[in-house]
């Protein structure tokens, strides 16, 4: 078996010149050497393209769209990949030097794995860590595709820069065809073709911006509806395939989405957007009727309907008083059928 197959790192970009050098440097300085790096600029208005061209001397292949084609830019650059494996690296993210090597080692040793994911550290626009690192799973492991599907009905923790796909799986799965949460949907589709490898080490840095498309989606109600629709699509596809391990989670998945909608309303309240936040309460009830019994729902309803309270105290202080301000505070045991992966 060939132990060092070609890996394609593909970097779609739009106006991330400010972080592009750090991204490209991280791709170039991988310990794994059999790599091709493909960069596609989606008609940026900043200096992204000129920055990328300065890296051609390091073997980076640089392309540019004639006009902005949106998310299709991911598929266009991916179609040029020649590697056995493909890594979609967003141009504001950074991968650690051993990222590719560790993912390839796992997949070469486990031919059933269609996609491998690693953990991440979240950073701000200045590259400073902003959240405490806590792995999603409590060990590195191989998870049966059907078991990971059931998890994906509940949540998607991984972003594109955390993943390495087998290129043939990436293409058979249809590449990216949903604009919002396309990474969630793509990971779900990949489980139709094999298992999921998980490395519970933070091998990449995911940048979170103060003002992003996510903020736009929250303010304009796109986030809760998109989340609801993709969970429903996962359930619907699983029903067609008689995958009862996934289907039986339908009610829990919709309750999870309703809970997430409530948490998104908190973000609106932080920006003093009371009326949109109230809309989120109604959306949450549409997603799961029993969400009204949750402590978070009741606390938010009280806060929004009490001008005296929300003028006196911030939403974060109020939730802290109610013991409702917690983040995820544990790593989960992997789902049914997993096998521990010890690595090298």
3-state secondary structure of 150: helix
Q: How confident is the model at residue 267 (pLDDT cuts 50, 70, 90)?
A: confident
DSSP of 85-128: EEEE--TT-EE-TTHHHHHHHHHHH-TTEEEEEEEEEEE-TTS-
| Radius of gyration, alpha carbons of the chain | 21
* Phi, then psi, of 207 in degrees rounded to 5: -90, 130
212 pLDDT higher than 60: no
Q: Please, what is the average pLDDT of the chain?
A: 92
Q: Beta 195-207 vs 141-143: how paired, if at all?
A: antiparallel
Weakest-pLDDT range from 89-103, 176-190, 276-290, 321-335? 176-190
User: Which residue's structure tokens are 């796109």?
Assistant: 222
pLDDT at 178: 59
DSSP of 150-177: HHHHH-----GGGEEEEHHHHHHTTS--
Two tokens, residue 243 = 């995958």
Distances (CA, A) of 265 to 22, 101, 259, 260: 34, 40, 10, 9
224 pLDDT higher than 50: yes
DSSP 71: T
pLDDT at 257: 96
Residue 144 class from Cβ within 10 Å (0-12 exposed, 13-18 middle, 19+ buried)? buried
Give 42's strand partners.
Answer: none
Q: In terms of Cα–Cα distance, which of 87, 84, 97 is closest to 39? A: 87
* Phi, then psi, of 127 in degrees rounded to 5: 85, 10
Q: How confident is the model at residue 1 (pLDDT cuts 50, 70, 90)?
A: very low
DSSP 209: -
3-state secondary structure of 205: strand
pLDDT tens digits for 125-135?
Answer: 889 998 888 99
Average pLDDT over residues 207-229: 75
pLDDT tens digits for 279-331?
Answer: 999 999 999 999 999 999 999 999 999 988 888 899 999 999 999 877 778 89
DSSP 332: B
User: Which residue's structure tokens are 């979170």?
Assistant: 208
User: For 58-63, which contacts have Cβ atoms below 8 Å and span 24 or more sequence positions?
Assistant: 58/28, 60/24, 60/27, 60/28, 61/36, 61/37, 63/38, 63/39
221 pLDDT higher than 90: no
């Amino acid at each position: 078996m060939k132990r060092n197959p070609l890996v394609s790192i593909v970097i779609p970009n739009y106006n991330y010149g400010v972080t592009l050098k750090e991204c490209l440097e991280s791709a170039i300085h991988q310990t794994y050497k059999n790599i091709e790096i493909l960069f596609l600029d989606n008609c940026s208005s900043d200096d992204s393209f000129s920055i990328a061209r300065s890296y051609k001397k390091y073997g980076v292949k640089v392309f540019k769209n004639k006009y902005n084609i949106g998310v299709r830019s991911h598929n266009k650059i991916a179609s040029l990949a020649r590697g056995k494996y493909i890594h979609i690296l967003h141009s504001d993210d950074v991968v650690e030097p051993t990222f590719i090597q560790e993912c390839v080692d796992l997949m070469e040793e486990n031919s059933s794995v269609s996609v491998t994911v690693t953990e991440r550290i979240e950073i701000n626009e200045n590259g400073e860590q902003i959240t405490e690192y806590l792995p999603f799973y409590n060990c590195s492991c191989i998870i049966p595709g059907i078991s990971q599907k059931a998890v994906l009905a509940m949540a998607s923790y991984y972003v594109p820069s955390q993943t390495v796909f087998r290129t043939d799986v990436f293409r058979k799965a249809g590449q990216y065809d949903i604009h919002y949460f396309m990474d969630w949907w793509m990971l779900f589709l990949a489980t139709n073709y094999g298992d999921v490898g998980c490395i519970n080490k933070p091998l990449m840095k995911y940048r979170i911006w103060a003002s992003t498309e996510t903020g736009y989606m929250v303010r304009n109600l796109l986030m809760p509806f998109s989340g609801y629709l993709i969970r429903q699509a996962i359930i619907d596809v699983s029903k067609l395939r008689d995958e009862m391990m996934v289907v039986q989670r339908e009610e829990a998945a919709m309750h999870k989405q309703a809970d997430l909608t409530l948490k998104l309303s908190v973000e609106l309240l932080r920006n003093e957007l009371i009326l949109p936040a109230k809309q989120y309460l109604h959306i949450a009830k549409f997603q799961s009727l029993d969400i009204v019994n949750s402590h978070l729902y009741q606390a938010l309803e009280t806060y929004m309907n009490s001008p005296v309270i929300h003028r006196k105290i911030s939403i974060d202080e109020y939730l802290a008083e109610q013991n409702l301000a917690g983040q995820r505070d544990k790593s989960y045991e992997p789902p049914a059928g997993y096998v521990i992966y010890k690595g090298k």
